[in-house]
A and B are shown apart, each in its own frame.
Chain A
């Protein structure tokens, strides 16, 4: 037994005797003590989407309670749930030579004049629009602004609402695709773009946006041929699509130096 233990023990002996004495006496010593009481935001469609860095699915929690990887529904085995491969970097990856890219035929370079800007969602709320479509468009517009402000999680919650209110609103799906792209979930983004395209038939301005974003996703996934094909398709639909135009220039610029 240590000295400290002996001391503690003797303390308790004394304490025990004291408690016994208190119990027998029926009263406790009064110590005079009085503690004080406590004192009384329609944004235009961005023309160029830079390849985003993959982001985690959710910010880390403050307590360590996740014992396994986050649940992913086995019904949909989306590979994009894993951090996607980073886009090829200029310094480290030798780009393929120009001849390896499918070049755009000259005939296609004679593009039609750019389409008028149709990116304003609020402008689509006209007298004949149903209340559901109007509410859905407003939420989508709000979400697009949140996306621009770098708040994809907030944007997603509004966009999910927007497609519940009006499942035929293609813009809700488009911005969901955009939000997924921002979060680095490129395959999920491509899935949303498939749905958007199915609901957008006949609208070249927005189909061009879809193709341009597809191109961005493919580029981020390292599938440069598909990326270029989609950028080219976007340009055919709307030669004023800056995302596609810039991306095509970038792809070519990346390819050219190695051939010199």
Chain B
């Protein structure tokens, strides 16, 4: 009996020893694992920085048309806030409406090529025009002023953490003390966990029967933010506590505090999370840490507990209450004097509307991203904090999007057959806007709803261009003349009648709209009225290979088969290609490369890549001018006359396009300074049964009216050698009345169209 008891006791002891040993070994392994994790984080890379995409900057100059409201809205979007008194700090502006003045204390901004130091400036307006710019710090007159670009979006993987890392020495001591006072007052005396704090928190929570206080130390909070989730479970709390102990054992209090102040989450601006005290000071007060007042420091410290609920953007009352609690704690702890306390209590909270970072140009950003992907990996773009400056004009982008979305809605309302049930194949559209002189892509809307479809029809959809291809035929004719020996001018009479073009043992016969033929018509009339047969005959005479060569020369990149139907736009192209090609005409025969990414800088403001404007004179300016003159007739008298009826009266040129099966409707149109291409159709190639002038032109017109409002009116300027021979080179406009009779009427926009605009064909 005694022996067996001893045996049982021995077995128990062995088992206990084994269990203890296994426990110790497992515990040691677990601790080693946790230490490795902590070490890796502290000694490795702690944070990743999303790249940021900026719009183009906004240049103000003396003489520019400018409305006060427009400027104020722009400043608001750039994060400036309005004050009533004299400007004191960077980021403030004041409107002196009665004097027609705006004073702005500019932000510092690292422009692509230089750092601009913020200075106070005064802008005076006179009758809707910018009359004077003064630098208030030097009292010197300025002639132009570049406002910084807007942040469009960030490139990030899961969440956008906006953060600038600072050293502990850069953080004001009062802010540090305020954070410690409310988050972990025994920070400098515990070893990572604070049993007194835990007991106190439990006591308070039990007393109120709710979760009022947490017992986590600042180190524990840091471990949670670094490695763990927000869940309040034992399985999270235990490793959190152990990691805190490890961190405190290995690293100094200063290192832990510095990491905490950089890591902590302090608010949300749309999709952008605000992390760290530096970023928070910018977000809430638009100023550097060194400029924070006591009240502002207390507010930031108070926000840590619930940044969104206590945000001054959300509730000034809640934010003030919380700030006062922190101030009281600082006063009780004798960190601040009574006078400091009372002064801080009287500080006003910033009254500013939250300007969220919302990506207003998702299609444009996708296009940029595609360009960037050629040089930068996803990891680099989402972690290295690159700054990408683009050509995007956010105002034009918003106008383009509005014009497209509303235009498509109007079309569906006017033509119920265009409405599709479900999401399968709804009416779609695209618009791309280019500045011809530089090739800068100013706006891009690749579809009517980015949430539903991210397919970017501007550069991913290849569609038949229909009649917008015809100008290439006419340009080739003007450039090369006909193989028959005809030297084409706008007055050359061409035959608009049925014919058959035989090639490679095949036959092709172009038909006019409604099979209506006009016989002898001028070259100009054939283009303005988009006559298929006449165009086919011109193409046949010139040679389709030359037509193709001209299209490529202007900027069409897609493969173009040298078949007769090419003349009427049977080869598929993208709207972006069309925009580039017509930009060449708008720019006097100078082709530019499409420019979306202008500059990429690394985190240290070192340029990694700069894309300058590149130009090439690919056709004679006289020929380009002649084409612009001919295409202006399309708006003034031809198939796009609706634009004039809708109130777009600036000098402009353009061309409608409709494919022969009515699946695609196009309009490309431009002033000397701005070009836009609109495409409307179905992704699934359903029939629209509408022409370019019916479906795409109204959208283009609405956009251009809005985009050019307030801009100076400019016209295409004839290259000087052309002036002497303008009547001969430009020809004469078709007179009222019968076809084939050529009159001597000047080619100026008439009050009424000289002849009935003909519905666009093919």
The 8 Å CB contact of B113, one of A12, A28, A70, A154, is A154
Contact A58 B437 (CB under 8 A): no
Within 8 A of B (CB), among A49-108: 57-63, 65-68, 70-71, 73-76, 78
Contact with B along A197-221 (1 / 0, CB 8 A): 0110110000000000000000000
Contact A195 B590 (CB under 8 A): yes
Which segment of B189-197, B444-452, B659-667 sits at the interface? Answer: B189-197
Given the complex of chains A and B, what is the CA–CA distance between A57 and B609 in angstroms? 8
Q: Which residues of A contact B177 (CB under 8 A)?
A: 37
Write the nearest CB–CB distance from B532 to chain A, whole angstroms.
Answer: 29
Q: Which residues of A contact B227 (CB under 8 A)?
A: none
In the assembled complex, A138 has its CB within 8 A of some CB on chain B: yes
Q: Beyond the given A135-B63, A198-B589, could you list 12 further A-B residue pairs with CB under 8 A, ordered by the A residue number?
A: A12-B31, A12-B32, A15-B28, A29-B191, A35-B252, A58-B609, A65-B376, A75-B580, A75-B594, A160-B612, A160-B613, A164-B438
Which segment of A111-119, A126-134, A228-236, A248-256 sits at the interface? Answer: A126-134
Q: A29-B191, A201-B719 are in contact. Are A61 and B608 (CB under 8 A)?
A: yes
Q: Which residues of B contact A68 (CB under 8 A)?
A: 374-375
Q: A35-B188, A38-B171 are in contact. Are A75 and B437 (CB under 8 A)?
A: no
Q: A135-B64, A153-B113 are in contact. Are A191 and B616 (CB under 8 A)?
A: yes
Q: A75-B555, A135-B64, A167-B673 are in contact. Are A37 and B615 (CB under 8 A)?
A: no
Q: Which residues of A contact B555 (CB under 8 A)?
A: 75
Given the complex of chains A and B, what is the CA–CA distance between A163 and B31 in angstroms? 66
In the assembled complex, A109 has its CB within 8 A of some CB on chain B: no
The 8 Å CB contact of A28, one of B112, B195, B557, B580, is B195
Contact B62 A131 (CB under 8 A): yes
Contact B28 A13 (CB under 8 A): yes
Q: Which residues of B contact A28 (CB under 8 A)?
A: 190-193, 195, 245
In the assembled complex, A2 has its CB within 8 A of some CB on chain B: no
Q: Which residues of B contact A15 (CB under 8 A)?
A: 28, 31
In the assembled complex, B72 has its CB within 8 A of some CB on chain A: no
Given the complex of chains A and B, what is the CA–CA distance between A179 and B623 in angstroms? 28
Contact B608 A16 (CB under 8 A): no
Q: Which residues of B contact A39 (CB under 8 A)?
A: 169, 173
Given the complex of chains A and B, what is the CA–CA distance between A31 and B555 in angstroms? 74
Contact A30 B191 (CB under 8 A): yes
Q: Which residues of A contact B143 (CB under 8 A)?
A: 134-135, 138
Write the nearest CB–CB distance from B493 to chain A, whole angstroms.
Answer: 31
Given the complex of chains A and B, what is the CA–CA distance between A191 and B377 in angstroms? 33
Contact with A along B45-83 (1 / 0, CB 8 A): 000000000000001011110000000000000000000
In the assembled complex, B587 has its CB within 8 A of some CB on chain A: yes
Write the nearest CB–CB distance from A62 to chain B, whole angstroms.
Answer: 5
- Tell me the A residues contacting B by CB distance below 8 Å: 8-9, 12-13, 15-17, 19-20, 22, 26-35, 37-40, 57-63, 65-68, 70-71, 73-76, 78, 130-132, 134-135, 138-139, 153-154, 156-157, 160-161, 163-165, 167-168, 173, 176, 180, 188, 191-192, 194-195, 198-199, 201-202
Contact B63 A134 (CB under 8 A): yes
Q: Which residues of B contact A168 (CB under 8 A)?
A: 717
Q: A28-B192, A71-B609, A75-B580 are in contact. Are A132 and B27 (CB under 8 A)?
A: no
In the assembled complex, B606 has its CB within 8 A of some CB on chain A: yes
Give the number of residue pairs across the A-B interface with Cβ within 8 Å.
201
Contact B594 A73 (CB under 8 A): yes
Contact A37 B24 (CB under 8 A): no
Given the complex of chains A and B, what is the CA–CA distance between A3 and B64 in angstroms? 78
Contact B61 A165 (CB under 8 A): yes
Within 8 A of A (CB), among B216-274: 242, 245, 252-254
Contact A132 B63 (CB under 8 A): yes
Given the complex of chains A and B, what is the CA–CA distance between A9 and B29 in angstroms? 8
Q: Which residues of B contact A132 (CB under 8 A)?
A: 63, 712
Given the complex of chains A and B, what is the CA–CA distance between A79 and B676 in angstroms? 30
Given the complex of chains A and B, what is the CA–CA distance between A51 and B25 in angstroms? 75
Specify the chain B residue showing the minimal Cβ separation from A31: B191
Contact A163 B24 (CB under 8 A): no
Q: Which residues of B contact A76 (CB under 8 A)?
A: 591, 593, 614, 616
Specify the chain A residue showing the minimal Cβ separation from B608: A61
Within 8 A of A (CB), among B1-58: 23-25, 27-32
Write the nearest CB–CB distance from B750 to chain A, whole angstroms.
Answer: 26
Among all A-B residue pairs, the 5 with the closest Cβ atoms = A131-B63, A16-B27, A12-B28, A201-B720, A135-B61
The 8 Å CB contact of B144, one of A27, A34, A62, A135, is A135
Q: A61-B602, A66-B375, A191-B616 are in contact. Are A38 and B608 (CB under 8 A)?
A: no
* A-B contacts, 6 listed (Cβ < 8 Å): A16-B24, A33-B253, A67-B376, A76-B593, A160-B613, A164-B435
In the assembled complex, B588 has its CB within 8 A of some CB on chain A: yes
The 8 Å CB contact of B172, one of A9, A40, A160, is A40
In the assembled complex, B304 has its CB within 8 A of some CB on chain A: no
Within 8 A of A (CB), among B107-142: 111-114, 129
Given the complex of chains A and B, what is the CA–CA distance between A57 and B599 in angstroms? 11
Contact B27 A20 (CB under 8 A): yes
Given the complex of chains A and B, what is the CA–CA distance between A19 and B616 in angstroms? 74
Contact A58 B610 (CB under 8 A): yes
Specify the chain B residue showing the minimal Cβ separation from A153: B113
Specify the chain A residue showing the minimal Cβ separation from B580: A75
Specify the chain B residue showing the minimal Cβ separation from A37: B173
Q: A135-B62, A191-B617 are in contact. Are A35 and B28 (CB under 8 A)?
A: no
Contact A202 B720 (CB under 8 A): yes
Given the complex of chains A and B, what is the CA–CA distance between A74 and B593 in angstroms? 9
Given the complex of chains A and B, what is the CA–CA distance between A63 and B32 in angstroms? 33
Contact A19 B31 (CB under 8 A): yes
**Interface core residue of A26, A58, A62, A201 (most chain B CB under 10 Å):** A58
Specify the chain B residue showing the minimal Cβ separation from A154: B113
Q: A135-B61, A165-B61, A191-B617 are in contact. Are A40 and B173 (CB under 8 A)?
A: yes
